[in-house]
Structure 1
Amino acid sequence: MIWLASYPRSGSTFLRNVLYEVYGIASSTYHRETDYEIDPAYESFPVVKTHLLPGQLMPDNTGIPSIYLVRDGRDCLVSLVHYRRQLQQDSVDFDFALREAIAAQKGSYFGGWGRHAREWLERANVVIRFEDLVADPLKCVESLSPYLDLSVARHERLPSFNDLRSKDFQYGCGAEHGFTSQERAQWRKGKFRRGVVGGWKDDLPHDLQVAFTARCGGELVRLGYIESEKEVVQFPADSFLQSKGKHSTSPHKARNKRVLVDGTKLLDYRIDGIHRYVRELLIAMDRIVQQDGNQWVIDVSLGECGIIPISELHKVPALLRAGAKNPIARSKRRLEQMKTWSGKYFAELGKYRCRMLMRSALKRWLKVKRLCSLEPNRYDLLHLTLPNSWRHYRHLDLPLLTTVHDLSHLLCPEFQTDSNNHSLRDGCSWSEKQATHYVAVSNSTRNQLINQLGIGPGRIDVVHNAISESFQPVVDRGLLQEAARKYRLPDGPFLLCLGTIEPRKNLLNTIRGFNLLVEARPDLDIHLIVAGGHGWQDQDELEGLIRKSARVRQIGYVGDQYLPALYTLATALCYVSHYEGFGLPLIEAMACGTAVIYGDNSSMPEIVGDAGWPADSHDPKSIQDAMWQAVFNDHSRRELEVRATLRAHRFTWDHSARKMLDCYQHVIHADKSACVAGPKVATLPFPPQSSAPAATEELDRAA
């Protein structure tokens, strides 16, 4: 037997009838439906049709040949929802059912079209596209000759797809369900509704087109259903497709390579771009190391808190995790609430709760000390993920790889605090003294390292930042409504600004540009939403400008839970910074199907490419013009939304993690080649351990 696999509504019934009518080849089905039984003798048939995923088949013998019949997923979903409505007498809400099918939560809808195609493309011996099958059935069937006996052919009996609507054939006419002649005619009308290539364009709303492209863009490009945008970022054309191969390894390695990665940024309870970079890179590297074997041993340094294996990051207690559950964050929220309380009782109650929280925090801290009780290890390489963290490692003497996110202390020091400028300057200076190899997060940053610091091009690799899988168009109406209520978003369209409130993000000129837009069209129902935590400078002037602008509102920091929903709801993201080393919010918004307005400087043109509107960050009129395009040019915005989703999903953490491991390999190998006496190794000492009982007693006395 051979498997004939397909996602529902992909033409498998048509192919089965072609095989039966022309070649006399019968087929059966294997399924998990409850309304009709499986033929107990299905394994005796030469062809067995299934919609299941490869891992759900019985028998589970991967040696059984398989044919995968694939159709444009957008046509599949539209056809599937129409079919469900026909079966249930139009009781299914069309828009809701489409969203449900795109989301394919918890493995529903046969895992979703993207997963289904991805897994079967890896397994199948032959892949046939529905569009080719309808155009030339016999040519497609000939590709099955290595697996089926096609020697006897009755070409005069070849059915067309339209014949399935008007005649009873062996498969799909409803006879297997015991239908009458009249019932079969009605059944055929719904089951073989159109079969038109590209029919999804008539029924699939634009926002769901973007959502589907964001989830399944790789498979659509791979199968030729959409064309990939022009290559601007130097990635392989299929970098966002699932990799079949293993990470390249040296066949002559003497032992596992041991790398210490700076993870001190993970101790910051605030989630910013660099925190995301460290967290997502470590998660992706851990996944790849586990998949590809034991070539690497990667540990993460938490600074003064010690070292933990990369696989143990999930065990770090909440005290040291980012997000709202961190006790420090909870303490800050409670302290803010205390400002509204009155009376001695409430003041004392607030002190008590705060101290109890501190006691809990200390216990968690001691738990981290125990967690970090590994024996000191010898390392072949230190990866400094942020130059500012250099003081934790200044006593080490081993090969160094330093990630440089930007050179703001040189190119725009007026936009930074003095402490930030000094910290970054000292970190870069120390790294250079260690003869470090550099990783730049963009080609723009690489060029700045060459031009501003005189670093040789051979000492710099580019490993782009990327997006986590959570950033994609939100199709869950409930979550969209919840986000809108939580942040009191306007009912009408709005532009979104996102970023820490600091001068470099250029919020002042962005608001000025928006005000020009409103002045030009006072009747326009549009708002500007400013999201982001407080940083430094600009705050008083910004708040004054917002107070004067009735349609501008500041909503503060937005957590990861709601960020994709805000991106999805926004008409466009306005991210017209004066300078960026990468610009992570840009690809986050693009991944959520949102068009972007960006500053035409530094790394941003490189990252966005032709998927957004550029603007001069110093010119509010230029920003207004870009906003005008976003609000009034629907055709341009819709086109850019599709381009944006395709482009953003080329920036994957798996791809970046593999490139980073290649950098590790290169630096370690180069250092070994340069050292006659062997590689440098270093031991990272642990901080002195606190006395838990004494510390707890001291806190008890304070309470």
Structure 2
Amino acid sequence: MRRPVSIGPVAFDASLWDEPITGIGLYTHCLAEALGSLGVRLERYGARVSGEDPRGTLGRTAYVLGRLPQALRGSEARLYHALGNFNLPLVRTPGKPFVVTVHDVIPLLMPDTVSRAYRWQFQLWLARSVQVADRVLCVSACTRDDLLARHPEAADKVAVVYNGVDHVDRHGAEDATRALLDAWGLPERFVLYAGSLDVRKNVRLVLDALERLAARGRKVPLVLVGQRWFGSGEVETRVERLRARGHDIRSLGYQPESVFYELMRRATVFAFPSRYEGFGLPPLEAMRLGTPAIVSTTGASPEVCGEGAWAVRPEDAEGLSVAMERLMHSDAERRHWAEKGQRHAARFTWARCAADTLAAYEHVLRR
């Protein structure tokens, strides 16, 4: 652990601070807390109702492009850190270095998974953010390499700073949460998928594997947790067809953290064969909680989950069905992967993420 330091206040992108907690919002909160533990004083900009300069009814894009530059000019903050892939102001603020975190470049790699309007916004704004940034933090070497393949000019600005996963430790199940899950009457053993239901996440492969298992007389219950997203209609339609044919599939939608992590603890297997992740936090969370995880061999999953998770190719429904069947029905297999997963996940802490982020701040302030 680094000794506390004083680098002066840091202007911190809080655009998702007051929103329901999902990926980048979770990163925002966990990084802010860990930086605070290192003595870094944060000024939160752009939250909906809280912080130093709440945006109110103004949209996030309008705030960053319109009001944030003026707010930064009047601030004593030493630098500004944008957290959402590309959301830096379009022009530099004199005397205020810019840092941006890039989680992935999915709209450029997989354009069919986002709307055309968002793809163009992402492409153009990311290119400008790379230009005006003094430091670019990528959450994995995979994301770094994908970014530099499109923006090689940023090579001397980029650093890899991994996310933490130990935030799950603080979410022990409360009596009310246990009672809620008990009331749902979930099966004693089930496969859990958690994430959005879009095409990229490859929920289709999980459903393919369920059908293969059913054909072998091994029907497996599935619980889906996550919000609707671009392109999720196909998955939802297929789930309804499978239910009509007798498959036990529970769609629970978005759930608060306390419920989400208790579901992870109760799951027999966590299946996450995503076609691409810039980091892939959900399987690492499951691993930290002692639930065996199955991931894809593509994107950042091999880098992040390493040998702590069972990996299958993103088109290999048979391989996924075999992995699910063995983990569902073998206590020894489950213990083996649970122990490997916990050992591996222990490497990823928010204290380490904050220390590496602080090193990036010190780097830009020395220039």
Report the equivalent of 2:13. 262
In structure 2, relative to structure 1, the CA distance for the partners of 1:256 and 1:663 (3 Å cut) is closer
Aligned: 1:280 with 2:30: yes
Report the equivalent of 1:593. 290
The CA deviation at 1:585 is: 0.7
Deviation digits for residues 303-353 of structure 1 (CA, Å, limit 9, x no counterpart): 6879529xxxxxx9xx99xxxxxxxxxxxxxxxxxxxxxxxxxxxxxxxxx
The CA deviation at 1:259 is: 2.2
Q: Distance in 1 between matches of 2:45 and 2:181?
A: 39
Deviation digits for residues 201-244 of structure 1 (CA, Å, limit 9, x no counterpart): xxxxxxxxxxxxxxxxxxxxxxxxxxxxxxxxxxxxxxxxxx3x
Instruction: Describe the SS at the equivalent of 1:402.
Output: strand
In structure 2, relative to structure 1, the CA distance for the partners of 1:548 and 1:401 (3 Å cut) is same
The answer (yes or no) to whether the contact 2:79–2:99 under 8 Å persists in 1 is yes
The CA deviation at 1:485 is: 2.9
Instruction: Describe the SS at the equivalent of 2:252.
Output: strand
Note the aligned Cα RMSD (angstroms): 2.8
Instruction: Describe the SS at the equivalent of 1:424.
Output: helix
The answer (yes or no) to whether the contact 1:507–1:542 under 8 Å persists in 2 is no
Instruction: Describe the SS at the equivalent of 2:136.
Output: strand
Q: Distance in 1 between matches of 2:170 and 2:298?
A: 26
The CA deviation at 1:407 is: 0.7
Report the equivalent of 1:573. 270
Per chain length, whose mean CA-contact separation is higher, i.e. which structure has more relative contact order (CA < 8 Å, sep 6+)?
2
Aligned: 1:613 with 2:310: yes
The CA deviation at 1:419 is: 3.2
Instruction: Describe the SS at the equivalent of 1:430.
Output: helix
Structure 1: 5+ residue stretches without partners: 1-242, 250-254, 290-295, 310-315, 321-372, 671-703
Q: Which residue, out of 266, 289, 298, partners 2:42?
A: 298
Q: Distance in 2 between matches of 1:277 and 1:605?
A: 21
The CA deviation at 1:424 is: 2.0
The CA deviation at 1:625 is: 2.2
Report the equivalent of 2:242. 548
Deviation digits for residues 569-625 of structure 1 (CA, Å, limit 9, x no counterpart): 101111111110111111111111101010111100111111111011123222212
Report the equivalent of 2:225. 531
Q: Distance in 2 between matches of 1:566 and 1:306?
A: 30
Report the equivalent of 1:421. 119
Report the equivalent of 2:149. 451
In structure 2, relative to structure 1, the CA distance for the partners of 1:486 and 1:468 (3 Å cut) is farther
The CA deviation at 1:632 is: 3.0
Instruction: Return the letter of the residue paired with 2:202.
Output: N
Q: Distance in 1 between matches of 2:45 and 2:311?
A: 39
Q: Distance in 2 between matches of 1:458 and 1:440?
A: 13
Identical columns (%): 23
Instruction: Return the letter of the residue paired with 2:201.
Output: K
The CA deviation at 1:246 is: 1.1
Instruction: Describe the SS at the equivalent of 2:205.
Output: helix
In structure 2, relative to structure 1, the CA distance for the partners of 1:621 and 1:455 (3 Å cut) is farther
Instruction: Describe the SS at the equivalent of 1:299.
Output: strand
Instruction: Return the letter of the residue paired with 1:414.
Output: D
Instruction: Describe the SS at the equivalent of 1:516.
Output: helix
Report the equivalent of 1:74. none
The answer (yes or no) to whether the contact 2:92–2:132 under 8 Å persists in 1 is no
The answer (yes or no) to whether the contact 1:468–1:653 under 8 Å persists in 2 is yes
Instruction: Return the letter of the residue paired with 1:453.
Output: H
Instruction: Describe the SS at the equivalent of 2:256.
Output: coil
The CA deviation at 1:665 is: 0.1
Report the equivalent of 2:355. 658
Report the equivalent of 1:94. none
The answer (yes or no) to whether the contact 1:472–1:591 under 8 Å persists in 2 is no
The answer (yes or no) to whether the contact 1:528–1:552 under 8 Å persists in 2 is yes
Aligned: 1:632 with 2:320: no
Instruction: Return the letter of the residue paired with 1:570.
Output: A
When normalised by structure 2's length, the TM-score is 0.86
The CA deviation at 1:272 is: 1.0
Instruction: Return the letter of the residue paired with 2:211.
Output: N
The answer (yes or no) to whether the contact 2:177–2:258 under 8 Å persists in 1 is no
Aligned: 1:520 with 2:248: no
The CA deviation at 1:257 is: 3.3
1:169-208 equivalence runs, <5 A:
none
Aligned: 1:503 with 2:199: yes
The answer (yes or no) to whether the contact 2:308–2:343 under 8 Å persists in 1 is no
Instruction: Return the letter of the residue paired with 1:482.
Output: A
Instruction: Describe the SS at the equivalent of 1:650.
Output: coil
Question: Quick check: which has more Rg, 1 or 2?
Answer: 1
The CA deviation at 1:475 is: 7.3
When normalised by structure 1's length, the TM-score is 0.46
Report the equivalent of 1:61. none
Structure 2: 5+ residue stretches without partners: 58-70
Instruction: Describe the SS at the equivalent of 1:438.
Output: strand
Q: Distance in 2 between matches of 1:305 and 1:473?
A: 25
1:244-259 equivalence runs, <5 A:
246-247=3-4, 256-259=7-10
Equivalenced residue count is 349
Q: Which residue, out of 466, 479, 482, partners 2:164?
A: 466
The CA deviation at 1:408 is: 0.4
1:118-129 equivalence runs, <5 A:
none
